[in-house]
Each structure stands twice: as structure tokens, then as C-alpha cells.
Amino acid sequence: MGIEPFTTGAAGPAGERVAERVSGRAGDITALRDFVAAVAALADRTRNDADAMARGARPLLHELVQQDGWLPDEFAQPHPTYYQQYLLYGDPLDRFSVVSFVWGPGQSTPVHDHTVWGWIGVLRGAEVETPYRLRDAGAASTGALVQVRPETVLRAGEVAGVSPASGDIHRVRNAFDDRVSVSIHLYGGNIGRIRRHVFDPASGERKPFVSGYANRYTPNLWPRDAG
Ligand SMILES: [Fe+2]
């Protein structure tokens, strides 16, 4: 897949179209609803072509995180100990999912992979990514992890990607020790249901895990006052 892991880029024509749709309405949840509708339409157009869907989705997420105020507070609440993953929308056909990641001060993920493409857009604050690869391809059970390049800082309004084809093992942490950061993630599957892995950085040992979500209910994209 032609996605560079955790690099940033500008919005394309599709993102500009979303900007037209949401202009003047920043601050209500219609920005999220329009985003979900655009991604669903993209999934219809690209059918089973994951590369095409990932390429088309990036400018849509980029546009979404250019404005704040649309994310309901209950999906932006940090936990005192653990970073939180709130499902904002799950496609009924598991073609994509939209998740808010909420980082308390200093919180960090374990080293993990994804097994599907994903885009990360920072809405508030900033986060730091440390990318890894297995030392010996095909020897996942015995090889130690190697950091493949320096840490990357992703700031509010920026988008970066992960892809199983070009590298999707990393650790992510809040860039701040004194404030909450929030990022919006779009994945090419239902990330909370997907069986993937966490890694011991020293030994390279990997263990399967399914991340799940912190919330029991998803946001209402059609509230009375949202137009
Ligand atoms: Fe990740």
C-alpha cells in the first residue's frame, strides 16, 4: 500500500469539498456526520480497493481536524490512568471506524500494530510516535524490535498514517505532561474488534489483543438542533 507511516500531508480536492459542506457550521456535530457520510460514499466507490480508499480518506480526515468544537465532551474525557478510545462511528459492514483517542497527561500506548490502514488526525494538543520494525522479518516470535527512525511529533490539524504494508508497529504518547491531547482516528476496519498485537520492545515477543472501546453508546449524529 502506498501510505507512508506517520507522515503529514495537505488536503486534496475531496477534502476541499468537505470544507464547503461544513463551512459556517463548525461547532456542531454535523462536521462529524458529513465526514462519516463522505467516508461511506468513498467506501462505496472504492469497493474492496483498500489502497484507493485509504488515499481518498486522508484529505477527508485532514479537513475534519482543521476545526474543533464538533466533538461532544463525553467523548473527550481522559481517564486518570489509561488513554481512552471512544467509538464515534462504526460502519455496519466493518469497512471503517472512527475513534477519538484521549490522552491524559503523559499517557502512552504499549508498542502495538494495527493490521489495517489507518489515519490519525490530531484535534487538540499533540502526540509523539516512535516507529519500530521487527529485526528479522518472518521471525516475529524471536526477533527484537528496532526503532526505524526518530520520533515524530504530530500537532493539532496534522494527519499521519499507518499501514501494514509500509510499517505499522509503533508506540504513541501524549506530547504533553500537563494537558490532555485528543486525536481522531479513521481505520479501514473496525479497529476495536480486530485481533492484533502488542510487543515487548526488548524481546520482540508479541501477544494478541483486541482493543475494544471505552464507551457503551456512540454519538447521535442527528440531534434536533444540529440541522
Ligand atoms: Fe497505533
Report the CATH number at residue 187.
2.60.120.10
Indicate whether 116 belongs to any domain. yes
β-bridge mates for residue 89, sequence order: 98
Residue 117 CA to ligand 1 centre (angstroms): 10
Indicate whether 22 belongs to any domain. no
Q: Which residues contact 98 (CB under 8 A, 6 or more apart)?
A: 32, 35, 36, 39, 87, 88, 89, 90, 184, 185, 186
Residue 227 CA to ligand 1 centre (angstroms): 34
100 near 76, Cβ under 8 Å?
Answer: yes
Indicate whether 17 belongs to any domain. no
Average pLDDT over residues 75-97: 97
Domain hosting 61: range is 30-215
pTM: 0.85
Residue 22 CA to ligand 1 centre (angstroms): 28
H helices, E strands: number in the chain: 3, 12
Indicate whether 13 belongs to any domain. no
Residue 114 CA to ligand 1 centre (angstroms): 6
Residue 169 CA to ligand 1 centre (angstroms): 7
Rounded to whole angstroms, the Cα distance separating 107 from 177 reads: 8
Residue 41 CA to ligand 1 centre (angstroms): 25
Indicate whether 5 belongs to any domain. no
Residue 200 CA to ligand 1 centre (angstroms): 15
**pLDDT of res. 75:** 97
Residue 227 vs residue 53, higher pLDDT: 53
How many domains are there within the chain?
Answer: 1
Residue 4 CA to ligand 1 centre (angstroms): 14
Q: What is the pLDDT of residues 33-51, one digit of tens each?
A: 999 999 999 999 999 899 9
For residue 96, pLDDT over 60 is answered with yes
Indicate whether 121 belongs to any domain. yes
Residue 129 CA to ligand 1 centre (angstroms): 9
78 near 125, Cβ under 8 Å?
Answer: no
Residue 99 CA to ligand 1 centre (angstroms): 12
Residue whose grid cell is 522479518? 137
Indicate whether 64 belongs to any domain. yes
Q: How confident is the model at residue 227 (pLDDT cuts 50, 70, 90)?
A: low
Indicate whether 3 belongs to any domain. no
